[in-house]
Amino acid sequence: MLPIMTQNTDDKVLMVRYRQGEVAAFEALYARHKGPLYRYFLRQGLGTESSAELMQEVWMKIIRAKDRYEPTAKFTTYLYQLAHNCRVDQYRRSAHKMAQKIDGADIDVAQLPATTADPEVDAIKSESTQQFRTALANLPDEQREAFILKQEAELSLADVAYVTGVSTETAKSRLRYAFSKLRQQLAENESSS
Amino acid sequence: MTDQRYDKEFEAFLAGESALDERYTELGSEEPLPELDALILAEARNEVKVHRLKFGPRGGWLKPVALAATVLLSLSLVMNIVVDAPVRFEQIVTESTQEPARLDAEQTVSGWQEKKIRLSEQPSMSGVEEITVTARKRTDNEPQSQDDTMMDVPESVSASAPEAMAQTTDLDTALLIVSEYVAAAVSGSVEADVKVSRFMDKEERAQTAAPGLAAADRATAASDDLQSKDNPELLLRNIERLNISGASAEAGALLDEFLLRYPAHPVSVKIHQRNY
């Protein structure tokens, strides 16, 4: 008999239980990772449509490969490695299309939900958010990906390096550049406003 | 800003405690559309259903069953091959009256031509006193004779061999005739009896044609007898020698001893036909 599932049940356990035929385990796993994975694609400059498409591709791969899944590494690194590969493939398929989107022009700020009840505060926040979004979009691909992996998937330096297929030093360097540029950009925005 | 301060802030960022982290959370938490959720979850459920259909509700039983079935099938196939192994015929060619050279008969079906050539190398049929072919079915645990090797009698042995026997001029034909004789004798048909009697007549003619053989063979058989106690094939050959040389009583006694000692050992059809 399988133990009762809780909110803290490990991802690997959920995946193993899904492999054994427990659909509820997959539902829990999906609910846990769908948002971060979606935002991983979305914030790399992909539109909502492309992000949804890639997200579906990643989850389909996980579903179809469930019988071969071995809980050796963290599920998150497995998930984001698949996501990284799918993104790279998609980039290769439509390189020029992607380049157009990376400039942040297709990001629809109006779709974002309001976070407060005060319209004035919302307006200020919206402007600040837009500036941050633009700063993020202006980062080089590798730096942006490393940053988003750290923020959304909460991956460690070593995991970011594993997922992106580089050394830990390289991953750290990318994150350092991303951090530096974003910080500088935001400081400039604040001083100008 | 000093490098030290920068490093400290970067460490805080790596730990998820910097101002940048807060700014990032302000970006919001976009979620995929519910339609996409429904599509992916439906696929996940469908995959489990398909898996259950393939491998049953408990899963995983199909593979062991398939494996067991494969093993059983393979075993039965191997057993079938062993049981239906072709009957092999052991050929013994005894020595000539003039030259006690033994014609080693070593061949398989594929080596039939080679055998013919080797037999043809012999001077002539007149040098051969007797050719005996013994039918036996080989089993796995039965040791292979050192002296007499096995051969497969081809299915295409000529039916006219008995007629040809009276005018046999070479060893190849003789070998075919004897093979035919053995095949017929094993089958136990009326035709076989006719062939057997013809063969017996032929043997008797051979004995009268070579009266000097008896004494020599008796001596050879006596000397071999000492060595043949533990060798059933040699013992059988001695029985044959004694019989050819006219010592039927001795041959009969030796045969009785042989049958007592080796009840399971196959005995030449010809020896059985003689009814010592």
| Confidence grade of residue A164 (pLDDT, cut at 50, 70, 90) | very high
Among A112, A113, A182, select the one facing B20 at the smallest CB separation. A182
Rg of chain B taking only CA atoms, in angstroms: 40
- In a domain, residue B39? The reply is no
Contact B41 A43 (CB under 8 A): no
Does pLDDT of A5 surpass 50? yes
- In a domain, residue B216? The reply is yes
β-strand partners of B90: B134, B150
B52 touches chain A (CB under 8 A): yes
DSSP character at residue B211: T
Reported ipTM: the value is 0.80
Does pLDDT of B46 surpass 80? yes
More confident residue, A167 or B100: A167
Could you give the strand order of the β-sheet that contains B150-151, starting from the edge strand earlier in sequence?
A: B131-136, B88-93, B150-151
Phi/psi for A121 (5° steps) reads -60, -40
Are residues B126 and B227 located together in one domain of the fold?
Answer: no
- In a domain, residue B92? The reply is yes
Does pLDDT of B86 surpass 80? no
Contact B45 A23 (CB under 8 A): yes
Are residues B93 and B115 located together in one domain of the fold?
Answer: yes
Domain boundary among B59, B80, B101: B80
Minimal CA separation from A92 to chain B, in Å: 24
Are residues B92 and B165 located together in one domain of the fold?
Answer: yes
Phi/psi for B264 (5° steps) reads -90, -5
The answer to whether the CB of B125 falls within 8 A of the CB of B174 is yes
Does pLDDT of A85 surpass 90? yes
Are residues B223 and B259 located together in one domain of the fold?
Answer: yes
Residues B254-262: what's their mean pLDDT? 82
The dihedral formed by the CA atoms of B221, B222, B223 and B227, expressed in degrees to the nearest 10: 80
Domain boundary among B202, B220, B255: B202
Residue-wise pLDDT tens digits, B217-251: 444 544 555 455 677 888 887 887 777 777 778 88
Contact A157 B14 (CB under 8 A): yes
Using CB atoms and an 8 Å cut-off, which of residues 95-114 of chain A contact chain B? 111-113
| Confidence grade of residue A62 (pLDDT, cut at 50, 70, 90) | very high
Structural domain boundaries enclosing B238: 211-276
| Confidence grade of residue A177 (pLDDT, cut at 50, 70, 90) | very high
**b/e map A161-178, b = 16+ CB within 10 Å:** bbbbebeeeebbebbbbb
Are residues B109 and B195 located together in one domain of the fold?
Answer: yes
Does pLDDT of B18 surpass 80? yes
pTM above 0.80, yes or no: no
Most confident of A126-135, B58-67, B198-207: A126-135
- In a domain, residue B42? The reply is no
Domain boundary among B202, B225, B252: B202
What is the total count of domains within chain B?
A: 3
Are residues B245 and B154 located together in one domain of the fold?
Answer: no
Neighbouring C-beta atoms of residue A35, cutoff 10 Å: 14
More confident residue, B201 or A35: A35
| Confidence grade of residue A144 (pLDDT, cut at 50, 70, 90) | very high
DSSP character at residue A153: S
Q: What percent of chain B lies above the pLDDT cut of 90?
A: 8
Residue-wise pLDDT tens digits, B132-147: 444 443 334 444 443 3
Mean pLDDT of chain B: 62
Q: Which residues contact A109 (CB under 8 A, 6 or more apart)?
A: A126, A129, A130, A133
pLDDT, residue A170, reads 94
**Cα B231 to Cα A14, A136, B139, B144, B251, distances in angstroms:** 73, 97, 18, 11, 16
For chain A, domain boundaries: 11-192
Are residues B92 and B198 located together in one domain of the fold?
Answer: yes
Name the closest residue on chain A to residue B22, using Cα atoms.
Answer: A151
| Confidence grade of residue A60 (pLDDT, cut at 50, 70, 90) | very high
Are residues B192 and B137 located together in one domain of the fold?
Answer: yes
More confident residue, B211 or B114: B211
Residue-wise pLDDT tens digits, B158-196: 333 334 444 444 555 556 666 666 565 555 555 555 555
| Confidence grade of residue B16 (pLDDT, cut at 50, 70, 90) | confident
Are residues B89 and B76 located together in one domain of the fold?
Answer: no
- In a domain, residue B253? The reply is yes
Mean pLDDT of chain A: 82
A54 touches chain B (CB under 8 A): no
Rg of chain A taking only CA atoms, in angstroms: 18
Contacts of A150 in chain B (CB under 8 A): 14
- In a domain, residue B154? The reply is yes
- In a domain, residue B25? The reply is no
Name the closest residue on chain A to residue B57, using Cα atoms.
Answer: A21
Does pLDDT of A153 surpass 50? yes
pLDDT, residue B209, reads 45
Look-up of token digits 């009266």? B211
- In a domain, residue B33? The reply is no
Residue A171: name the closest of A67, A80, A95 by CA. A80
Of A88-102, A147-161, B83-97, the least confident: B83-97
pLDDT, residue A148, reads 93
